[in-house]
Structures are given as C-alpha cells and as structure tokens.
Structure 1
Amino acid sequence: MKKYVYILSSISLVLSSCSNLEEDVVGVLEAETLSNQEKVIGQINGAQNQLQAFQNTDFMFVLQEHPSDEMAGPTRGADWDDGGAWRDLHLHTWNSSHPRVQGAWDQILGGLFFATDALSYEPTTEQFAQATFFRSFYIFMTTDLFGQVPVRQPGASFSENPEVLKRTEAIALAISELEAVINDLPLVNTPGKPNRYSAAALLAKMYLNKAVYLATDEDGTPQAGPFTFENADMQKVVQYCDIVLGGPFTLQANYFDNFNPSNTSASTEAILSSVNTNDNGGELRRMYFMTLHYNQKPSGWNGFVALTDLYNKFEATDPRLKSNLPYLNTNSGLTAGILQGPQVNEFGAPVLNRAGSQLTFSQDFSLTNSDDQKGMRVIKYLPDYSNIDRPNNDFVIFRLADVLLMKAEAMARMNQDPSALLSQLRTVRGVAYTGAGLSDILDERARELYWEGWRRQDQIRYSTFLGTWQEKSTNSDRAKIIFPIPASAVSTNPNLVQNPSY
C-alpha cells in the first residue's frame, strides 16, 4: 500500500502548478517505505511518462503550433468556440488565465519535478544521467514557452518555494548539467529511453535557440531579433548534430513510416519518442481526431486546419504534402499529408458533408464563422485502425531530419555551405534541390516538420513569429514571444513574477 500511495502522490503533482507542495504530500514522501533505488526508477519513469503530455493537443502542442503560421482552430457554428480559446492563440491575444497556458505549465513542471526528485535518492551513474536529461529537457521547454523556470535543487526541502531562474540563467543551467553527464548515457537507442544521441539532439536544440533566450531585457521582456548567433554556439550545434549523424539512424525512404502505427520499428529516424502501445499509450488519437470531419474514418472532431502559408510552401509533387498509401486507401480512402478538395471513403464513394453533398475541404476558413468543410486538414500520424482510441504509434519528439536541418542552419549562420545536407534530405524526399540559404532552411523545416510541435520556436528564431498570415492580419507585440505565468502559479510562489505586459 505504501508504494501505491507514493505513486498517486507523484501523479497528483502533475496536476498542480508544481511551484509549491502541500505538507501532506511531504509527509507521504517521508513516510513511505520504498528503497532509494525503487524511488529513482519510479521518478525516472514518471519523467519519461510525462512525455505523453506532448501528444495531448490541449497543452504544449497547441502552444507551439496554434500561434504559428501552420495551424488554426475555426469556430463552426456552435462548435469549437470554447470561449475564444483557439482564436486567442491564433491572434496572439491570450492572457494569464488561458486554459491551455495553465495546462501546459502544469504538465511541464510535473515532468521537471519527477526528474529532479529522481536525483535525490542516490541514483547510479547512468540513472543520474537519465534523470538529468529529463531535467534539462523540461527546463528547456519551460524556458522556451514561459521565459522563467522554478527550479529546485535535488534533495531541497519541499516546504520552501523553488528558486526562479530567468531565461538567460535557465538555458545555461540546462546546457551545463546535461553536458556534464552526456558521456554517461548509453549509445544503445532504446525507444523512449534517454541515450547519448537524444542528449546530443537536445543540446543541439538548446545551443541553436540560445541566442533567443539571451536576448532578454532586464525586466524579462523578450527581444524580437534579429538575434546574434555566436559562432561558438553554432559550432556546438554542429558538434552535437554530428554525434547523432554518426549514430544508427538513416533518413526514412517512406516519409510517413515515421508516423505510422508500427513506427517503433518502422522508423529509422526516431531519436526520442514517447512510446505508445495498444495496451498502454497516451492521447495520440488526438492527432487525427482533432482535424478529421465527422463523416470520415475515423470519425473526427472536425477541428483544426492547416494554413495556406504552410500549404503554399510545397511543390505539388512533394510526397510530404500528399501521399496515396495503400494502408489508408484500404481502410478509409484518406491520403496522408494535407487534405484539400473532394474527399472519398475506402470504396471510392464520396464522403458527405452536413448538407448531404460531397465533402470538399477548401483552403479558406474563418476563425469565427466556418461551415463544416472549411479549411484543409492534416493526416500526419496515420490512424491505427486496429485500435482507433488507443493507437500504437509512438509520438516522435526528436528525429534525424530535424537534426540534419539544425546542422544546416548552424552552418548557414556561420556562412558555411550546407547545400549537401539540404540536397541529401530533399533527394530522399523525392523533390528537387531548391537552395540552402537561411530562408530556404526555414521553409524546409516547415515542409519537413509541420504539425510536429516546433513551428513557433522556429519562427521566433527567424524573427517571423510576430508577423501576419492567414486569418491574422496584424503584427504582435514582442511580449507574445513568451506566454504568461499562470495566475495560480504566481499566487502560490512569491519568487515568480508575472511576465511583462501580462
């Protein structure tokens, strides 16, 4: 029973702001009888399981995609209004009470708690490195989204409020702690487990974005760029990308094998994933439910759409835009990629809209007044027709193509020629080489990584995030580069100060 109470207490922390802890939880943690090794394993597993939050389209995923030039959530009559939550994300008009902001904060800080707590119970060398990987990962994600991070030292008393680090301090801590242990991580690539390759990918990601976090006013207001990318940081990006590129990964010949129900084994690109199975998985079903029409298979929620700003970046022959896959055709009549135009079922017959005519997805939509077929939809993670509600697809966090593009960008920022890398990627994807300037690389990141949860971060780094795109006609204030700290977190931890302009 003691073990059961301990696990439930850990889970409850995910649902809190994680900036302060109740005394009764402290008592449970002090009273339980698990060995130190059991505690370490349990908390590392907790940090790993928390990665499932990234496939839940209510939290981190929507904060990274909805405010970008890739995704929107139109209101359709009485459907999808949700108090204007999706419009606020698209138009950059959110505030500190926005429910998706609160949820993302809780989920990320829950992962950070698990990772830090694991370091408190005499872990082995490898376990220490694994827990440190997760600690750095969650510090990085909190820094990126919120601009400040409440951080406890391992073993610190829960009765005291955690120290709060600014963006500049937090990214330095995340990098230094992970660099100290990277060589203690295994070179074996086990799905879902931290290894030296996933640590290298994370370090490359942090060094690539470091200039953004350093560009912060004294009062915490983020600067909008253009940013100063130091050569030393870009050399680090290349160094860590080369560790991954020297590993057991190859670009996937069939792009959508990275996202199909057997991608645990089928993908040759996955570096770090949140592992799902039909018996024990997260909410990956949301990846197709959130966008498909009610009358398609599976029957979706008729929600989120792709923007023309994304669609127009593709050549018509790019298989990442549209692929006819036998698996989808046989089960549903769907194509993989961005769906527009008339839709058919698995028998080739028209799928009907609410009016009884053929469902036809249009490129246009309105944030406030769309019918049931406005807006292009996206099928990237292929539905698992053996278990629609509990799919077997792993949710990919880091993969090889992202690493290749990070190296290309770092080289371009050092005035080196990354054309070989871009040509390699586009050749495997079956499209002609188009150039390797910085703007080409940003566009290629859109084509390659769309709806994977990186677009907001990429646009900020390229100083395009505050601009305009489909259904967003006005520029945003630079304060919107980071989200507000949830009001509940500020009220419980006096070390937290609300971000400027919120």
Structure 2
Amino acid sequence: MKKYKYILYKKFTIGVAALLMLVGCGLDEEVYSVYTPETFYSSEESVLSSLSGVYRNFALITGMGIEYRVLELPADQVLLHGKIQGWWANTDSEQLMEHKWDASHAYFTTTWNTFFATVGQTNGLIASLEASGMEDIEGPKAELKALRAYAYFYLMDLFGSVPIFLEPRVDPNNLPQQNSRAEVFDFVVSELQEAAEMLPSKTTVGAEYYGRLTKEAVYALLATTYLNGEVYTGTAYNAEAIDYANRVIESGAYTLLPEYFENFAPDNERNSEFIFGGVYTPNVPGGIGQPFVQKVLPGISGGLFGLPYTPQNGFGTRPSVEALYSEEDARKSMFLSHGELRDPRNGEVVMVERIVPDNNSQLYDPERSNSGPVPYVIIPATGIRNQPMNAGIKWIKWQIDPNTNGGNASNDVAFIRYADVLLTKAEALARQGDFEAARLIINEIRGRSGATPLDSINLDDILDERGRELAFEMTRRRDLIRFGKFTDSWEFKEESEPFRTIFPIPRTAIDANPNLEQNPGY
C-alpha cells in the first residue's frame, strides 16, 4: 500500500470558477471559494493539500475516461470495438476514430473544461499563496506554475490558439482574449524554464517527494515541448530539445529499468524510469485507481486471471500495432492476439463454457459448469461497429494488480518516462542530420527488450520505435502529427483532412466568450 505524506487527496476549489467563462458556463456571482486568500494557507500541510488536488487532476486524465480517449482514439493504436448488443457503441468515440468530429463534440468540451479548470485552480492557489503572508512560497509557486504550464501545453497541443489567463477570477465585462498558438508556446516554455530554477533536483529529494515535479521533470517537459515546437510555431527547436533532454540524462537522476514491464507493475512507484505521471492509491481512503486492465480485457465472467470482477472488454488495438514488433521483442508479449486466449500468469489456454458472441462468456468451472469446456478464441475484428464480444486484439501493458480494489488498480501511469527522453533526444539528433548518434540511442532502447539492433535508421524507424516503446501512453497523436502521418489512412479509418491535426474550439466556449475565434475547417 502506498502512503505519501504529501498526497492528502483533498481537492480545494479556489480559482476553479475563474475559468467558467472560458469553458462555456455562466458567471453569476463573485463567490469563488469558501477560502479567502488571507486565510487559506497557514501551514506547509495546507500548501501540500492544495498541490495534491492539482496533481489529482492529471492522474484522472490517465484513467481511460474522456481525456484519454481524446488523446488516443484519433491516433492509430487505441480503438474501441462497438459490440453487437450495443456495449461500447458510442458515436463520440466513433467520430474520434474516423476523424469525423465537429465543434459540438462533447468530448472536446469536457477536455477543454478539464484543462482550463486546472488553469483556474492554479491561478487561484498562486494568488492565495501570494496573499498568505507565508515565507518560502517560491517553491510551491514554481510547482503550481509548472503544473499550469503543463495544462497549457495540452491546450496548445489539442486546440491551438487559446487564451492565456493568469488571474484568479474573470471580469465578465472584460473576457479573456485569444492568444496565438505560438504565443502559448512561448508562455509554456518561459513558465517551465522559470519554474525549473526554483524546483529541487530529483537527486536531492527523498521518497516522500515521489509524484511531484522536480527540476528534471520540468526539463523533460521542456524537451517534449521543444520537440513539438515546429508543429506549434513553424520553427524547429531540435537543439533546444537536445539540450533539455541532456539535462535530464546528465543529472543521473533516471535510468532505464532492466526489464521493460517493470514500468507497468502494480508496485511501480518510485522507480528510476518514472519521471512524471498519475499516482494511484485505490486502497487508501480517498485515493483513486486506474482501470486499464478492467477496461481492456475480454469480457469473461468467473474470475478471469484471478480478477474479482468481469472485465469490460472495451479498449483494443489494431493488427498493424502488434505487427510493429519482431518476435524476439519482449514488448510484444503485451498483446492478447488472434487465436486462443492464454493466461499471462501461466500460459494456459483460457477455457470457457462456450463463446457467447453477444454477451460475456462464462469461465469454465468443472464443479459448476454444465457445458464446455472450449477454448476462448480471439477473432479478427472487421470494423469498429457491431463486433462479436471475442473480436479484436487486446493488450495487458499495465500488469494485473493482485490487490485490485474492484476494477481500480494501483499501477502508476507515466506521462513521461526516461525512455521517452532518450527517444526525444534521438529524434532531435536525427532531424539535425546525426542519424548515427540517434541509432545508438534507439538500439539502447531496443536492447532493453531484446529486439535486434538496427544497422541504420531513418525518421520512419524512429516513429516506429516510439510506437513500440510508448504504445498506449498518450503520445501517439502528437507523434503522428509531428511526422506528418496523422491524416493518413489506416485500419477502420480513411484519409482525413489536414485541419484535423487541431481540434475545434468547443462551441460552448465560443458561445460564452465571443473573443474566441474558431480553428480553420470547423
């Protein structure tokens, strides 16, 4: 069980209402919190509790809800197969997978609201810190500014031109103006650079600091921001991406774990590769868990893989994703492929009473079953609609938690791992023309998983390696856009229009703030 004194899982709402006009809600009164700037902060514990609420926002993003779907379903790895009887058949998800969304899409509204709520929360908390009279507030202020900048990174990445708003409340008579995508990029970079100077190094903090942003974590965010800078501004920042990746590497704070799947184990907290992400403690009162196993595995009742629940059989992947991996690559073992389903604990074939195409199959139990046993067979999917329950490739990347609290597991989920930093440096080197230096890094990543070293590489090889190493980790959409492949055709998706690389500003936000201008194409 994880216990961290800095995570109290209390979410205070100072400043959240400050962004209501941005997210499309009305603003009828000036009560933003029961706490006032002068009284909210009185101790280190109160500061830490407010920070934990912001970190919790990011942890919720990795829980396979709407934000995860917005980040993953438009790309070519994660998908949802709608079932014959209607389970998981969802127009909003189908539109994401087929690139047929418009400005009224409910998932974009939710995602916009999520990130701007974090902006509003951090704005209010920063103002409260400044008004508190407490000493030594520069550290937590830097932490809040970095978290706000990370929220703006996602807003810039997903929606392009958005308002930069730093006040604890909105004047309804002076609504925020929209900033260009390049201006938001400059703001994110500046805020992260400033915050990094005030944050402690990973090498100087103890285990109790786990899950919080360190200097090196912010350097990693800067490397990612610069790597994508040409998409956001039209100017390449490969040298800067290399510089900040090197700052992480040369700190000695992180290493590749010896085995790939150690990154995704139930007890993966405080490992040497995890840089920043969602911390999950479902067995701690008030804690949250992540449901990757619950939402991915086939729907078989009766204790499949020893689980105390029936998996939901939702998220899957495409054959082209599994095909990225060579047979000797250890990472390929995450897939539950076409054919007989095998128990990952012992390799035995999973036996059921019978395969039920339109409902959950029942695990075979010789003491209770009255039919079977037959092997459970995964068959190829023919589309994203009206599929049998046993259609489509599944995956177990985040390993089964034996102490799962219902469907909520304790495996922490990284937004950024050290492997991503290495891949960022390799790509930036290659884009500068140094393919040999990039190849050595790529082979270091491949070597960890037993994949054959590459004798030469091109940019497509780097994209493929990112696809292998970071599959399902919320980076694929950005990667495809950066490599100019996001609008290509792939299984169950036709070629789409160039404007799809940026999502529309939600219609509700434009209705609430006439200063917002819609993105081209919508």
Interval containing the TM-score (normalised by the shorter chain): 0.7 to 0.9
CA change 1:453–1:25 in 2 (3 A) is: farther
| CA distance in 2: counterparts of 1:258 and 1:61, whole angstroms | 19
| CA distance in 1: counterparts of 2:213 and 2:260, whole angstroms | 24
| CA distance in 1: counterparts of 2:55 and 2:457, whole angstroms | 36
Equivalent positions of 1:338-353 (< 5 A) are 338-345=336-343, 348-352=348-352, 353=355
SS of residue matched to 1:385? coil
| CA distance in 1: counterparts of 2:321 and 2:70, whole angstroms | 17
CA change 1:130–1:87 in 2 (3 A) is: same
**Which of 196, 221, 235 matches 1:182?**
196
Deviation at 1:16, TM superposition (A): 8.7
Deviation at 1:41, TM superposition (A): 4.6
Deviations 1:172-196 (A, max 9, x none): 1110121123121100363211111
Q: Which runs of 5+ in 1 are unaligned?
A: 216-227, 323-335
Deviation at 1:282, TM superposition (A): 3.1
State the match for 1:406 in structure 2: 424
**Which of 192, 195, 210 matches 2:229?**
210
**Which of 440, 445, 463 matches 1:420?**
440
Deviations 1:56-88 (A, max 9, x none): 222222112111111221211123454422221
State the match for 2:148 in structure 1: 135
Q: Does the Cα contact within 8 Å between 1:43 and 1:114 map onto a contact in 2?
A: no
Structure number, greater radius of gyration: 2
Q: Does the Cα contact within 8 Å between 1:339 and 1:379 map onto a contact in 2?
A: no
State the match for 1:431 in structure 2: 451
Equivalent positions of 1:82-481 (< 5 A) are 82-123=89-130, 124-155=137-168, 157-159=170-172, 160-188=174-202, 190-215=209-234, 229=236, 233-246=237-250, 247-265=252-270, 267-277=271-281, 278-279=283-284, 280-285=286-291, 287-295=292-300, 296-297=304-305, 298=307, 299-322=310-333, 336-345=334-343, 348-352=348-352, 353-354=355-356, 357-388=374-405, 389-416=407-434, 417=436, 418-434=438-454, 435-472=456-493, 474-481=494-501
CA change 1:375–1:269 in 2 (3 A) is: same
SS of residue matched to 2:12? helix
Percent identity, aligned pairs only? 26
Deviations 1:199-251 (A, max 9, x none): 00100011010110124xxxxxxxxxxxx63xxx1111111101111232111
State the match for 2:369 in structure 1: none
Deviation at 1:52, TM superposition (A): 1.6
Q: TM-score scaled by structure 2?
A: 0.83
CA change 1:436–1:119 in 2 (3 A) is: farther
| CA distance in 2: counterparts of 1:29 and 1:497, whole angstroms | 34
Q: Does the Cα contact within 8 Å between 2:122 and 2:144 map onto a contact in 1?
A: yes
| CA distance in 1: counterparts of 2:449 and 2:233, whole angstroms | 35
State the match for 2:368 in structure 1: none
Deviation at 1:391, TM superposition (A): 1.9
| CA distance in 2: counterparts of 1:148 and 1:41, whole angstroms | 32
Q: Does the Cα contact within 8 Å between 2:16 and 2:121 map onto a contact in 1?
A: no
Deviation at 1:306, TM superposition (A): 0.8
| CA distance in 1: counterparts of 2:116 and 2:170, whole angstroms | 17
Tell me which amino acid in the other structure corresponds to 1:271.
Answer: I
Deviation at 1:120, TM superposition (A): 1.6
SS of residue matched to 2:127? coil
State the match for 1:26 in structure 2: 31
Q: Does the Cα contact within 8 Å between 1:21 and 1:158 map onto a contact in 2?
A: no
Q: Does the Cα contact within 8 Å between 1:318 and 1:430 map onto a contact in 2?
A: yes
| CA distance in 2: counterparts of 1:409 and 1:499, whole angstroms | 29
The count of corresponding residues between Structure 1 and Structure 2 is 468
Q: Does the Cα contact within 8 Å between 1:55 and 1:61 map onto a contact in 2?
A: yes
| CA distance in 1: counterparts of 2:315 and 2:170, whole angstroms | 43
SS of residue matched to 2:296? coil
Q: Which runs of 5+ in 2 are unaligned?
A: 1-8, 131-136, 362-373
1:498 aligns with 2:505: no
SS of residue matched to 1:480? helix
Q: Which moved more, 1:191-200 or 1:181-190?
A: 181-190
| CA distance in 2: counterparts of 1:385 and 1:6, whole angstroms | 29
CA change 1:235–1:8 in 2 (3 A) is: closer
| CA distance in 1: counterparts of 2:288 and 2:146, whole angstroms | 21
Deviations 1:110-168 (A, max 9, x none): 11222222222345111121111111101110010111223212456454423322211
Q: Does the Cα contact within 8 Å between 1:19 and 1:493 map onto a contact in 2?
A: yes
